[in-house]
Amino acid sequence: MFNVPAIFGSMVFNDHVMKERLPKDTYKALKKTIEERKYLDETLADVVAGAMKDWAIEKGATHFTHWFQPMTGITAEKHDSFISPVGDGTIIMEFSGKELIKGEPDASSFPSGGLRATFEARGYTAWDPTSYAFIKEKTLCIPTAFCSYSGEALDKKTPLLRSIDAISTQAVRILRLFGNTEVVRVNTTVGPEQEYFLVDKALHDKREDLVYCGRTLFGAKPPKGQELEDHYFGAIKPRITAYMQELNEELWKLGVLSKTEHNEVAPAQHELAPIFTNTNTGTDHNQLVMEMMKKVAMRHGLVCLLHEKPFAGVNGSGKHNNWSMSTDAGANLLEPGDSPLENAQFLLFLVAVIKAVDKYQDLLRVSVASAGNDHRLGANEAPPAIVSVFLGEELTGIIEAIENGTAYNKKDRERMTIGVDVLPPFPKDTTDRNRTSPFAFTGNKFEFRMVGSSFSIADPNMILNTIVADVLSEFADKLEKSKDFTADLNAIIKKTIQEHKRIIFNGNNYSEDWVKEAESRGLLNMKSTVDALPCLISEKNVKLFDKFGVLTPVEVHSRYDIMLENYCKVLSIEALTMVDIAKKQILPAAVEYMNDLSKTAAQKKSTFPSITCKLEEQLLTKISALSGLLYQKTETLESDLLKCKTFGDTKGEAEFYRDVIFVDMQELRAVADEMEALVGKKYWPFPTYGELLFNV
């Protein structure tokens, strides 16, 4: 038995450690820098670095790294050891303030979307003191932002930090209007529920598609899938329990508030949810969660699949991004209050989010767009590609009463005046009743459910923060000039509901009817990544990012380029893998089986000329026809892949991948899956769905 409180955060240079190890003045100055969100000056940094190094060495660290989040969506690190020669053949362990606050990784191989010409390949990393340093595998990791020398953001953290500042400024303006003079900062909070699959490593390694693409490109449906729903919240098997225990231990050491774990709907699928924290730390922690999930799996002979759709026909994996706003005193701004004033404030923040989601449906859709997530959004288990807000019946009733100027409850004779009356009590929807909504209000937070399981949550949260900041700033502009606050507040809330209620939908988001209704409401339905991405660079959105200093127009365009390119690359790798598997594994297996079948038939005939060989004949006919078709589909895919190189522009290329290559791939797969059902088990060249899904 280990002592959880004792190991929790034991590998983190957190506030507790800083207080203990830094001289009082340094500690105070560092805290001030963190609170004011400034970068550290070098003299102060020297002292902090010294204390950090001593602490890290005591914990067994030998190296340090600037830990950053390039636009690949995962983290990057280059390790330097602390050693420094003293000239007599010995070394001392050194770590300077300069090394702490700034690094210069040779960054030419990270995606920059054309931001950095290769002759100016340098980028630099700068310590983000708002996220604690930590030790991972004998290396002191310093969370950093990553920029080019001309100052453009080359990572996902920098714009996230900027968006956190933007929403803080605007939310504080609103709070001042409600008479709050104390709050200095408003933070957004996040608790991402992470879904993942675990498969046996030995089986995994026999499948090229899983090894190269993280998802299966072939595979017939097993006799049993998830239809009995016996896996969801089911008893956790010993091998998985051991895995989860070790994962928790690793995460707790890193200060990650890993809290809940359970089996998910699909066989071999599981979920981990942390206790929420501020968005910057929450984003860093989610990266650590994903990394540790993979690493710990290896130690248990397992592989953790974070792909959005590892298996066709069973549920895919997402990441429910629970999001709210909280003052520096810890008050949740999306929590209904008890007094008329608190209620009014709650309603204003609530309608701000509703308006933001409606006005920027396109950006939210872009924030979750990827080749992997295309398999999920709009398929039967995930939210559709249409963005809408779930409020629950009770809150919707209140909103409608405000809109129509009617009483919410028949017993109330008077209609409600916001800022004067209290809200009628309404039960919080903590039951998660509507699991189909892409953006659900769950009592005191919103749950953005479209995020893919492999995503960094930096982008979705950067976008959420920015779009809500935009609406809050618009409200503040109006209300700061107001002569009659209560009247104007009522008017703003009412008008916002009237203009944006089309985004509210409490019904079944998976139904065909909703698709039609959403269309009649004028809501966007962008089915694929390639449809959605151009929205990122629309005039409205480029202006938004610029206005709040979150991304410059150049930075927005570079991100757009990277996302488009990434889509093409993923599809290209998948298509090439399919060709390889079809030609080198599936066809030879089919030929071998056919060979044995014909030999058997010939033998039977020569031994007993009167015997029937109908079975062999029928199987041979079917498999032979399918093999021919498979070969033909492979040839088509191969020759279409050659055409991809002829496009001058990435957008045209991406469209070709979506319209032609993706279709080729599906057709090829359909033939192979049909063959799998006919070819003998010992001939089939890789583990089946049944083996992969039920063997852990």
Is residue 274 involved in binding ligand ADP (CB under 6 A)?
yes
Span interacting with ligand ADP, options 438-446, 452-460, 517-525, 678-686, rule CB under 6 A: 438-446
* One residue of 70, 97, 129, 191 binding ligand ADP per CB under 6 A: 191
- Residues whose CB is less than 8 angstroms from the CB of residue 325 and which lie 6 or more positions away in sequence, other chains included: 167, 171, 186, 187, 188, 189, 332, 333, 334, 349, 468
* One residue of 184, 211, 275, 329 binding ligand ADP per CB under 6 A: 275
Name the phi and psi angles at 23, rounded to 5.
Answer: -55, 145
Is residue 461 involved in binding ligand ADP (CB under 6 A)?
no
* One residue of 273, 418, 589, 637 binding ligand ADP per CB under 6 A: 273
Q: How far is the CB of 260 from ligand ADP (least distance, A)?
A: 7
Residue 282 and residue 275: Cα distance in Å, rounded? 9
Span interacting with ligand ADP, options 212-220, 243-251, 319-327, 362-370, rule CB under 6 A: 319-327
Strand, coil or helix: what is 447? strand
Is residue 332 involved in binding ligand ADP (CB under 6 A)?
yes
Is residue 445 involved in binding ligand ADP (CB under 6 A)?
yes
Size of the site for ligand ADP (CB under 6 A): 16
Extract the tokens encoding 290. 């994903």
- Whether 522 and 502 have beta carbons less than 8 Å apart is answered as yes
Q: How far is the CB of 437 from ligand ADP (least distance, A)?
A: 13
- Whether 395 and 565 have beta carbons less than 8 Å apart is answered as no
Our CB check for ligand ADP shows the closer of 417 and 444 to be 444
Q: How far is the CB of 332 from ligand ADP (least distance, A)?
A: 5
* One residue of 163, 189, 283, 627 binding ligand ADP per CB under 6 A: 189
Is residue 286 involved in binding ligand ADP (CB under 6 A)?
no
* One residue of 131, 187, 248, 322 binding ligand ADP per CB under 6 A: 322
Class of residue 604 by CB neighbours under 10 A (exposed 0-12, middle 13-18, buried 19+):
middle
- Whether 443 and 429 have beta carbons less than 8 Å apart is answered as yes
* One residue of 175, 190, 489, 578 binding ligand ADP per CB under 6 A: 190
Strand, coil or helix: what is 548? coil
Q: How far is the CB of 274 from ligand ADP (least distance, A)?
A: 5
Q: How far is the CB of 183 from ligand ADP (least distance, A)?
A: 16
Residue 613 and residue 347: Cα distance in Å, rounded? 77
Strand, coil or helix: what is 325? strand
Is residue 444 involved in binding ligand ADP (CB under 6 A)?
yes
* One residue of 276, 311, 346, 448 binding ligand ADP per CB under 6 A: 276
Our CB check for ligand ADP shows the closer of 67 and 276 to be 276
- Whether 255 and 134 have beta carbons less than 8 Å apart is answered as yes
Residue 27 and residue 247: Cα distance in Å, rounded? 32
- N residues, the chain: 696
Q: How far is the CB of 120 from ligand ADP (least distance, A)?
A: 40
Rg of the chain over all Cα atoms, to the nearest angstrom: 28
Identity of the amino acid at 655: E
Is residue 464 involved in binding ligand ADP (CB under 6 A)?
no
Is residue 430 involved in binding ligand ADP (CB under 6 A)?
yes
Q: b/e string for 14-33 if b means 16 or more Cβ within 10 A? A: eeebbeebbeeebbebbeeb
Q: Residue numbers of the site for ligand ADP (CB under 6 A)?
A: 189-191, 193, 273-276, 322-324, 332, 430, 442, 444-445
